[in-house]
Chain A
């Protein structure tokens, strides 16, 4: 009996090894996956570094679990610098020189908009992690997927939240001149207008440092709320300079840029940033999935940060979902990976990730817009507020929407 069992185990093991070896032989090992992140200015380096760290953790986790198709997975990081022209060059290099079979990551919308055409033309699947512009999925390209929310969804949350500010009649929106900022500001303005709130949009170049003149103009507008749709240190500069001029988060309801989620950097750069509101993608840490909790622990240990930014979790998931798709496709062929992604059910740090629409079913079949193509429909979008000075973003109060709310917002004008 024992001999028979041992023989069966031996045969099964040999078979598995043979299949794995066969798969590995069919692939060029290691399997390379590209990772886009802004690691130099004018890109948002704070966000880029967080994403890079998260994607490297994904690489380590995947390899610790046996790699992909029996091969080691190698992450090839490309610095997009937040520039569209650089992004296309990096995407081209990743595909043609580095031989990546798929690409994850991506922070700036303009990078996503510019680089997706390169990947799609070359048949390389991309899962964008943090690029919000609606057209990224709205162009309905075969190889392009996204797990970040749509810009229109995030704008909805912002203006819906803004309409809850007591006595609001007028808002000022500061936006960057990018594929993220321009549509987001227009959608926010439209939503505010529908709610009877007038708004003025001021737009600036990405990486703007000196806001003295624009802060005076905003002051002259006497707004009831300030909404910042600017990324990176530019948002830090604006928020602190507005605070110096008496229209900062301590003076008026103030939504600052999303990079304030890295609270250590935020408090260093914006010491007068208490009571700022920030948009956060993903549920609060108390509601993280098991995978989310495990990732958070490793990420905090690796980076020394006290909290986990949502874009870090998205970046991790973008790599992990690609690894699962390649495994399920059984090959690194782009078309096979796309089919696997369209049918995937991935337990990610952000929750279960899936794609309802694509080649298998057009969004129009359910009366949805084109932007739902290859779009994860469930990212949670919340507004948090730093109610205490020096607070970590994961400890900050969730003030909107009701479904996730942990505390009432503090209105500094009351």
Chain B
């Protein structure tokens, strides 16, 4: 495997073709739908995808028939476009690990999925806060940081030998309380109408919280990296015993599937916990009165207030829950990564990207956006032929997807045109 594509002309030729027809499709279909007085909200996005996926055929079909541009079109054209790029890449660089090495591809997909689930989970907290309060919490990374720090201190310093579950629950409890208290003390002026620019006030207040938390931890703990021990060891499994290769093989710190895909214990535990908590969160939001009240406030605060829901209490709950979700992500990852007071900066930035990519205020958008970013990062890191550049560009991969998406669909993948939230409208 070399540092460059074997036949770059094939790959870049296909990309150029896709971009050219994508741009054409985007402009042409928007005009066509506008001229026919049809809904144009998705026209640019689907037009670009149809041009990229099927070239003149895709654009021509939509131009001629002007169907309602539902999510189905996005999904189908999106998948075809990805397959086309993958095929062009395979022809251009047949010796690349991403083409020739099946086990490598499986490992990268698994890595992308697992880290994507964790990214998405963290972004979920941010979008929950935004959808209810209308404020982007700039302290999200610091909640993530204190989650990990608290688990380390609870399990290794204050109560050595205590169950890691107690550490995680303790971290969640502290983060929840901190979020609730901060919201009550610092964000309530947003609701009273006493402040001219409540949204900006909210952003600055959370900025302040971020700095306070970060430097407080640095002052108390210092800046040396720490790490929690593995929460649990995998039992030794060889299953099925007579199979070759074994479907599942475990050691204390590792899980291997089909003797091909290897997943480290801390990541596996983190991803599974994130999925379980996500399910619990969905249950809370969709099956309980409190969850329905939260969703009602995110959709229409005034109507929710008339129905007897106290929007201010929901604000507090949303901020506390959002902070707790970030802290839980940190609490789970402190066994995988070295932890510093500044550790939240990159995950927070990535969460902002994911939230905007998925659509501001959209919970499914945040989660799927996280998985998408996880996959894109894994593909970029794994497939870019030049080893020197593959990992250097990790932060850029998500930004490229975000830029392309916003260019074609400013509301993000699942965004509502009018995201709700507090926005200082009183409570």
Chain A positions near chain B (C-beta within 8 angstroms)? 39-42, 45-46, 48-49, 177, 200-205, 207-214, 216-217, 220, 232-233, 236-237, 240-241, 244-246, 262, 265, 268-269, 271-272
Contact = CB atoms under 8 A, between A and B. Distances in A.
A213 B111 contact: yes
Interface of B: 97, 101, 104, 107-108, 111-112, 114-115, 218, 222-227, 229, 253-254, 262, 264-267, 336-338, 340-343, 345-346, 377-378, 381-382, 387-392, 394-395
Contact of A269 (B101, B227, B388): B227
A269 B226 contact: yes
Contacts of B388: 201-203
Interface centre among A203, A216, A269 (most CB of B within 10 A): A216
Nearest to A46: B224
A177 B392 CA distance: 8
Given A202-B387, A202-B390, A269-B338, A241 B108 contact: no
A214 B342 CA distance: 23
A213 B105 CA distance: 10
Contacts of B382: 213, 216-217
Nearest to B382: A213
A244 B253 contact: yes
24 contacts: A40-B223, A41-B341, A41-B342, A46-B224, A177-B392, A201-B388, A205-B392, A209-B343, A210-B394, A211-B391, A212-B115, A212-B378, A213-B391, A213-B394, A217-B390, A220-B97, A220-B104, A233-B340, A237-B338, A241-B336, A245-B264, A246-B262, A262-B224, A268-B226
Nearest to A264: B224
Contacts, number: 120
Contact of A49 (B222, B229, B343, B346): B222
A122 to B, nearest CB: 29
Contact of A45 (B224, B253, B377): B224
A268 B227 contact: yes
A202 B388 CA distance: 5
A210 B111 CA distance: 10
Contacts of B267: 212
Given A202-B390, A214-B381, A217-B381, A236 B101 contact: no
In order of increasing CB-CB distance, the 6 nearest A-B pairs are A213-B381, A41-B342, A45-B223, A244-B264, A233-B225, A233-B338
B391 A203 contact: yes
B153 to A, nearest CB: 13
Given A213-B111, A268-B227, A40 B391 contact: no
Contacts of B226: 268-269
B172 to A, nearest CB: 22
Given A45-B223, A205-B395, A268-B227, A237 B390 contact: no
B107 A265 contact: no
Contacts of B262: 245-246
Given A213-B112, A233-B340, 16 more contacts: A46-B224, A203-B387, A203-B392, A205-B394, A207-B346, A209-B337, A209-B343, A212-B378, A213-B381, A216-B104, A217-B381, A220-B97, A237-B337, A237-B338, A240-B338, A272-B253
A217 B108 CA distance: 9
Contacts of B395: 205
Contact of B394 (A41, A208, A237): A208
Contact of A244 (B107, B223, B229, B254): B254
Nearest to A201: B388
A214 B386 CA distance: 12
Contact of B111 (A46, A202, A216, A232): A216
